[in-house]
Chains A and B, each alone.
Chain A
């Protein structure tokens, strides 16, 4: 097992290396550059050249890349051109925001999706089954930003039940030792702040979690249907085992393998795919950060952000593979 993990980690090195070259070339191929983005279209040639010299952009590409690579390897991702802050600092602030959002979205998807899929399978071809099938079809067919807009309009603007934008009420003061606001509120022992942060998370989490919810429900349904037809389930029932025990111990546990896979893959996607939701709710996460960086040609942020994304994605996938082995002892990695 350990050998498998180590080998997988070694395999990610060339991927990240290749990616760093690709992203490096990509940002430099973008029309315009940080100097133009900073100074505007009508900047004089001299001022553009001066800024480019300051940023080291007048050097040949291989020289720039080597300098970038040595910095990255020593943990320095450079500084944002627009905020002048180190990319690492901004990452520390943005990542917890997106992580909280993705976690809530996934909780919502799992808490609703697994029971939904399970009930649908137990009532195969019944009304509940059909309702959940139609529901999950709607879930995957709704564009995230459309759902987000509707949720925001109905529950935040019209009914005023929940806040419209951001992570926390702007007038509230809360220390941020961890950057995970829910955790920060607990540390500060501030119940009102905790509720406030939670309220800010609800709508974006539902918007973001709907597609995973639909997928989790579908996969659970299919997996449970599959297991229900197995001989050992019939045997367990035939020997007079309590139906509840059969369902819990024999059906659900064996049906969970594909579900865990999907949850893992979807979590990877959520952590990285929140651009649209974050935009609608003006949520200060990773997605909107990189989107803005691309707009303003903020080279260091684009490079650092995308490398971070990729690293996270690969890490989550590794976790999924490892969790297989725990759930299904028949799988042995070498």
Chain B
């Protein structure tokens, strides 16, 4: 081994700190982001281990039928609902639905939005014009109305609801990725890659996309919170999952909205479950944003 090689080997001992590693380090040192992670972790554990944690199955009647259901106490930490079911157990199972809704609907929006955004940003020309006009068209109708319309059209299954909410997020991702790609497309490193003959597809997938994706990841996280709230809102309007046994948080609230006087627990507990989940997700999103783009923190 020559001296030069030895020195090179020594130098490479220290791992180069890339964008993601730096970002991770910054994220780890952000207390707010860690609070967010803990909150989301708690709800994730609740969702995964609902059958183990829940004292009762979500649809089992364990107390009397009552128009004036008992609040917390008597062996039921969060009280009972009007059908004598244990609210705590139902909320645990509800966490499954809400987290699933957040992940799947954003996944759908992301998948469709990224394809459109990449097409518009990378191909440009008339493709760009057509795609972006369609996105404008979608943005000109309020997203909740689009979701209401789609659910009315497709039916009130969980899959349809997640799809409807996912579709409303498509333009956000498409626009963001397009803008980001446009910013990268003319960068020197892309020009360099192109001039050494990197083919178009690899240029896009291997070079431009990884450098444009950071803001999209942040947005995806924040959108997850919006999606959870939106599905709860749909439920609240009576357009939630058609299956009455599903313990969806927004649906539990809607069913008991006029019982705030007699059985406030049936509105407050699911309400705060939604609030805590979205706070957790929003904190993670903000933390990611600051970690990826440290300029914001200055």
In the complex, B74 has a CB within 8 A of chain A: no
Chain A proximity mask over B90-127: 1 for CB below 8 Å, otherwise 0: 00000000000000000000000000000000000000
| Contact A26–B149 (Cβ < 8 Å) | yes
Check if B145 sits within 8 Å of A26, measured CB to CB.
no
Our pick among A15, A146, A290 for the contact of B145 (Cβ within 8 Å) is A290
Q: Given the interface contacts A143-B233, A149-B260, does A137 sit within 8 Å of B279 by beta carbon?
A: yes
Verify B274–A269 contact, CB threshold 8 A.
no
| Among candidates A31, A137, A222, A276, residue contacting B236 with C-beta atoms closer than 8 Å | A276
**Interface membership of B223, Cβ < 8 A:** no
- The answer to whether A30 and B275 have CB atoms under 8 Å apart is no
Bound-state CA distance A309–B143 (Å) is: 12
A334–B140 CA distance with the chains assembled, in angstroms:
23
A residues 210-257 near B (Cβ < 8 Å) are 222, 229
Q: Which of B145, B253, B275 contacts A272 (CB 8 A)?
A: B145
Q: CB within 8 Å of B: which of A94-138? A: 137-138
Decide if B30 is an interface residue (CB 8 Å cutoff): no
B225 at the interface (CB under 8 A from A): yes
Q: Which residues of B contact A291 (CB under 8 A)?
A: 148, 237
Q: How far is the CA of A29 from the CA of B155 in the complex (A)?
A: 12
B216 at the interface (CB under 8 A from A): no
**Cα A157 to Cα B261 with chains together (Å):** 9
Instruction: Give the residue name and chain of the A residue nearest to B226 (CB).
Output: A140
Interface size on A, residues (CB 8 A): 39
A19-B279 in contact given A143-B271, A146-B253, A149-B267 (Cβ < 8 Å): no
Partner of A314, one of B140, B233, B253, B275: B140
Min C-beta distance of A145 to chain B, whole Å? 5
Flag whether A56 is at the interface (Cβ < 8 A): no
Nearest-Cβ distance from residue A140 to partner chain B, whole angstroms: 6
Q: Are B137 and A19 in contact (CB under 8 A)?
A: yes
User: Which of chain A's residues 20-39 have a Cβ closer than 8 Å to chain B?
Assistant: 22, 26, 29-31
Q: Is the CB of A310 within 8 A of B145?
A: no
At the interface, yes or no: A141 with Cβ under 8 Å from chain B? Answer: yes
Contact with A along B140-163 (1 / 0, CB 8 A): 111111001100110100000000
Q: Is the CB of A141 within 8 A of B298?
A: no
Q: Judge if B78 is at the interface, Cβ distance under 8 Å.
A: no
Which of B134, B143, B282 has a CB less than 8 Å from the CB of A141?
B282
Known contacts A273-B142, A294-B148; A143 and B237 CB within 8 A of each other: no
A150 nearest CB across to chain B (Å): 8
Distance to closest chain B CB from A219 (angstroms)? 12
Tell me the complex Cα distance, A290–B148, Å: 10
Q: Indicate if B22 sits at the interface (CB-CB under 8 A).
A: no
Decide: A309 near B274, CB < 8 A? Known: A26-B149, A143-B233, A149-B267: no
Task: From the candidates A138, A276, A294, A309, name the one contacting B141 in the complex (CB within 8 A).
Answer: A309
Which residue of A137, A141, A306, A310 has the most chain B CB atoms within 10 A of its CB atom? A141
Q: Is the interface of A mostly helix, strand, loop or mixed?
A: helix
A290 cross-chain contacts in B, Cβ below 8 A: 145
Could you say which residues of chain B place their CB within 8 Å of the CB of A4?
A: none
- Inter-chain CA distance A31–B153, complex, in Å, is 7
A275 touches B (CB below 8 Å)? yes
Task: Name which residue of chain A comes closest to B150, CB basis.
Answer: A26
Q: Cα distance A276–B155 when bound, in Å? A: 20
In this complex, the member of B140, B143, B225, B236 whose beta carbon has the largest number of chain A beta carbons within 10 angstroms is B140
Cβ of B33 to closest chain A Cβ, rounded Å: 12
A141 touches B278 (CB 8 A): yes
Q: Closest CB-CB distance, B150 to chain A, in whole Å?
A: 9
Q: Is the CB of B233 within 8 A of A306?
A: no
Is there contact, CB below 8 Å, between A140 and B145?
no
Name the A residues within 8 Å of B264 (CB-CB): 153
Q: Does A199 contact B (CB under 8 A)?
A: no
CB < 8 Å: which of B140, B141, B257, B278 contacts A149?
Answer: B257
Q: Check: A14 CB closer than 8 A to any chain B CB.
A: yes
Complex Cα gap A4–B153 (Å): 38
B139, B274, B286: the one contacting A146 at CB < 8 Å is B274
A 251-289 to B, binary, CB cutoff 8 A, 1 in contact else 0: 000000000000000000100110110011000000000
CB-contacts of A139-155 with B (<8 A): 140-146, 149-150, 153
Contact between A269 and B237, CB atoms less than 8 A apart: no
What are 29 A-to-B residue pairs whose CB atoms are below 8 Å?
A: A19-B141, A30-B153, A137-B283, A138-B279, A140-B225, A141-B275, A141-B278, A141-B282, A142-B275, A143-B236, A143-B250, A149-B257, A149-B267, A153-B260, A153-B261, A272-B141, A273-B143, A275-B144, A275-B145, A275-B148, A275-B237, A276-B144, A276-B237, A294-B148, A309-B145, A310-B137, A310-B141, A313-B140, A313-B142
Q: Which 10 A-B pairs have the closest CB atoms?
A: A272-B142, A310-B140, A141-B278, A146-B271, A141-B279, A153-B260, A143-B229, A145-B236, A273-B142, A313-B140
Residues of B with Cβ closer than 8 Å to A? 133-134, 136-137, 139-145, 148-149, 152-153, 155, 225, 229, 232-233, 236-237, 250, 253, 257, 260-261, 264, 267, 271, 274-275, 278-279, 282-283, 286, 296, 298
Q: Can you name 18 extra interface pairs (CB under 8 A) apart from A18-B134, A306-B145?
A: A19-B140, A137-B279, A141-B282, A143-B229, A143-B275, A143-B278, A144-B229, A145-B233, A145-B236, A146-B274, A153-B260, A157-B260, A272-B142, A275-B148, A290-B145, A294-B148, A309-B142, A310-B137
